Structure 1
């Protein structure tokens, strides 16, 4: 089983992101069931983005470590001799790249920990790593008490939850009394608009009003 796809909030700021998305989206023909078409387009986009990220962005921590090591060696060399123009230019490029990589690492830590007050220098701390792991554990039901049994398996927990809600949804208990709402003289509201189909503008406005880095879906996209 391959690793789970997760959309990174910094991807749209990287060069080539829009091109990859447009090419992947257009690779799936828009013919057939619209829901299946959307699902296939999202899957194709996820695979293309993952390949693009692995190739052009790579492992951020490893890149930071390599940049620090090269800068250290150049600094040590400066203590005994003068750097050449090529070496000095390389050191300048590495310093600039290192700042960008550290900023990228900070953004990733912020996105995964969902903390709104991430401070400078805290991105690589153990606290935020533990907080990100805690969020994953918090979203997982490790055990469930059902009648006289304590269930720990995920399949058993899912079956118990499904059975519980199937037993209460769609069923109404016998009433022992009722209220005559007409006597209360409550105002009547016209609710016919609730049964109208959603318009394209309504859906677009709702989607655009949602935060860009919230509501992580099962497909890995925010």
Structure 2
């Protein structure tokens, strides 16, 4: 009650030793409940059951200081993981760094860094990107040592359950630690932009669609405005064309699987007709093609180039793409002393800033007389002429 007030009606804790090592985990039962909470030497683990959503395991840590205790701490965490299968979030102060960039100087314990990375890899965890800060702790000296010892590690299935999570840093206030705030349902849905899908080029009618879309008002003579308009028209046309050709791949797969399931159930009661067998066989082939297409799209958006075909499932590609989206997300912008958090406000700040940076065209007050300087002006009118195919082929090596 003294720490959090009446809203949090459940809690579990690990007592502190003097000024360190204490952990308090509290919850509001109207939003979620934590059961099976077990205190270990340096962490507390509990089973989180949200009111809306799937349950998952939460481990809150406060890592020890000494090397031998750190090794035992990682071994204890590994053992706890074996007893808690399923989605897992490990968050808190690990008192360890994972890589050299996690510390502001070169005084590194590479042996312990290697052990920490081994633990993360061995338990199949991934670090959530931290917005707002590079380091989470300072020794508060005149020339401070800064480290990133606070972090959030999650399993793959936990991240798949919470694709819109956002981890960002708060003010240290009177502490030498930076508090971490993890929002599970932050809406990271910026305006959709055009994506050129590589599989479009293999669809029938692609070249005809581009030829039809590549048109511009002949009265527009400025080459920059023309190319901008041509690209915009083509992007809009190809987006609509692609939707008509393939549609929503996930929805199509779901529909096909539902129809196949109904036919499977029917087959248990009676023999299928020739038409029903043909439909079931066709839908099975269709789902294979759509699944391959879905994987191709996911791989393109993940931008992974170092895997050979068949080396990973679509889940990996979705995770990489989602991780990049979270990392690139800008939660807030400070402008003239105000903190802008809404999407429209952030877009306006960026637009006004770049507009001011680029400036506007103005009439020249002075110009150069090239003839007086003995320089013959060059005729650049042919620079706006469209390349023809023969010209391109003729200049190829």
Identify whether the pair has TM-score above 0.5, normalized to the shorter chain. yes
- By percentage of residues, which structure has more strand? 2
State the Cα distance separating 1:113 from its structure 2 match.
0.7
* Larger CA Rg, structure 1 vs 2: 2
Secondary structure of 2:292's aligned partner? helix
In the alignment, does 2:280 pair up with 1:94? no
State the Cα distance separating 1:26 from its structure 2 match.
3.4
| Higher relative contact order, structure no. (Cα contacts within 8 Å, ≥ 6 residues apart) | 1
Separation (CA, whole Å) in 2 of partners of 1:23 and 1:9: 19
Instruction: Give the number of aligned pairs.
Output: 170
- Contact 1:71 / 1:95 at 8 angstroms: preserved in 2? yes
- By percentage of residues, which structure has more helix? 1
- Contact 1:64 / 1:101 at 8 angstroms: preserved in 2? yes
Q: CA RMSD in A?
A: 4.0
Of residues 255, 265, 269, the one that matches 1:66 is 255
Separation (CA, whole Å) in 2 of partners of 1:159 and 1:27: 28
User: Which residue does 1:49 correspond to in 2?
Assistant: 238
User: Which residue does 1:122 correspond to in 2?
Assistant: 313
Q: What residue ranges of structure 1 are gaps of 5+ in the alignment? A: 165-196, 209-222
- TM score, norm. by length of structure 2: 0.36
- Contact 1:28 / 1:41 at 8 angstroms: preserved in 2? no
In the alignment, does 2:82 pair up with 1:82? no
Q: Which moved more, 1:17-26 or 1:57-66?
A: 17-26
Separation (CA, whole Å) in 2 of partners of 1:150 and 1:57: 45
User: Which residue does 2:198 correspond to in 1?
Assistant: 9
Separation (CA, whole Å) in 2 of partners of 1:44 and 1:163: 27
1:74-120 Cα offsets, whole Å, 9 max, x none, are 12222222211111111121112111100100001100111232646
Structure 1 stretches (4+) deviating beyond 3 angstroms? 26-31, 118-121, 137-145, 149-164
Secondary structure of 1:74's aligned partner? helix
User: Which residue does 2:293 correspond to in 1?
Assistant: 104
- Contact 1:113 / 1:132 at 8 angstroms: preserved in 2? yes
